[in-house]
Structure 1
């Protein structure tokens, strides 16, 4: 499958849309995909519909109601972590990324991203209230959990992992710190072909294992982001 690229990074469309943080800014209404429409009908009927990724991040930030840490899984160029840091100037935002790109190929029905896509030669520039942790999740998260996070609740968690395996690592290492009130932003939970096999799958497995039923708070009508709260 041919990979369309801009500045060396793969995108799935050149069409412009409302999204400001994604390479693919095109609007794609969830109703255009039957599985996404069914998912929305089942889980998102009482959630707040929003139109942009920026609105999603702002909504989630405003929804935080507990004291705890703010984390982002998947930093890449630092756009979203800097936005969250600006929205929360009195909080430290902890960001995790290998900065070596995807750990393995990401095959989607609408495109293909090979291993190491999204790799960076240098760490991104970030605001003063951002702390970055470079490395694969299975290396950095256990150390962070033991030395920094410990038993502190997670107040806000932004999961931009793309892949099932990476998202599963997040829940595996941080699951004990996801408590009542924790807000999670998923960057690719639904609304793309095969969505049920990636972030959603890891999320569903975690909820089933813990026997929890988080509330769906908001979703991006034109993209893939969803906000939940435990």
Structure 2
């Protein structure tokens, strides 16, 4: 009897949850389906991951193998250093370094997904996080620091991690780095698709700067997408 009561309770709760599915729940379900349909052909030809750490490991190793270890490894949007330190750990085994660009003042424009992130979200009040020895931080607004950095280095780019979330800085970054990319270069986007309004941010900036014949998709995660330059 006790078991039957428990099963009845579970059944009732499941029915209530199904019956009370909100319009937003339905919208988000449809959003996932729409994203899959939009990228279906590319997803089926790509590597697929459930965890962001896995797509990051895949992308950095793919870039290293394609570039034979040479040239620049860059991250845009360092925040607390979580991802750049993991990239650095991999690269330290190859005696390579990675450069991280961030103002540490947070978002420069609002970002509206399934959450509202106003200007300044993710700010560290200009304080740099602790990073590995083979990480060099380029501190300041990316629109101010990137061009001079590239002109000084005069090197091709092997790997890029774009994690600035919104349209304007993403478009600026892609426009400036494009001449330095080469066949086999990898760009990993952290917030490319899979959430409300995704078409307005990293995806929009990317598709405005690159033609379909210049790249191919190589990996998909829940929001992260990696592309390879052809």
For residues 29 and 133 of structure 2, the distance between their equivalents in structure 1, rounded to whole angstroms, comes to 37
Alignment partner, residue 59 of structure 2: 60
What is the Cα-based RMSD across aligned positions, in Å? 1.7
Give yes or no for the alignment of 1:87 onto 2:86: no
Count of aligned positions: 195
For residues 147 and 29 of structure 2, the distance between their equivalents in structure 1, rounded to whole angstroms, comes to 36
Alignment partner, residue 225 of structure 2: 226
Contact 1:133 1:140 (8 Å CA) reproduced: yes
Higher mean alpha-carbon deviation, 88-97 vs 31-40, is at 31-40
The answer to which structure has the higher helix fraction is 2
| Cα shift readout 1:107-162 (whole Å, capped 9, x = no counterpart) | 22x121010000103200000000001111110101101112x2x11101000010
For residues 194 and 78 of structure 1, the distance between their equivalents in structure 2, rounded to whole angstroms, comes to 26
For residues 73 and 165 of structure 2, the distance between their equivalents in structure 1, rounded to whole angstroms, comes to 19
Contact 2:31 2:195 (8 Å CA) reproduced: no
CA 58–138 in structure 1, closer or farther in 2 if over 3 Å, else same: same
Q: Which runs of 5+ in 1 are unaligned?
A: 1-28
Contact 1:60 1:227 (8 Å CA) reproduced: yes
The alignment's TM-score, normalised by the length of structure 1, stands at: 0.80
Alignment partner, residue 131 of structure 1: 136
Q: Which runs of 5+ in 2 are unaligned?
A: 1-27
For residues 30 and 61 of structure 1, the distance between their equivalents in structure 2, rounded to whole angstroms, comes to 31
The alignment's TM-score, normalised by the length of structure 2, stands at: 0.80
Give yes or no for the alignment of 1:71 onto 2:74: yes
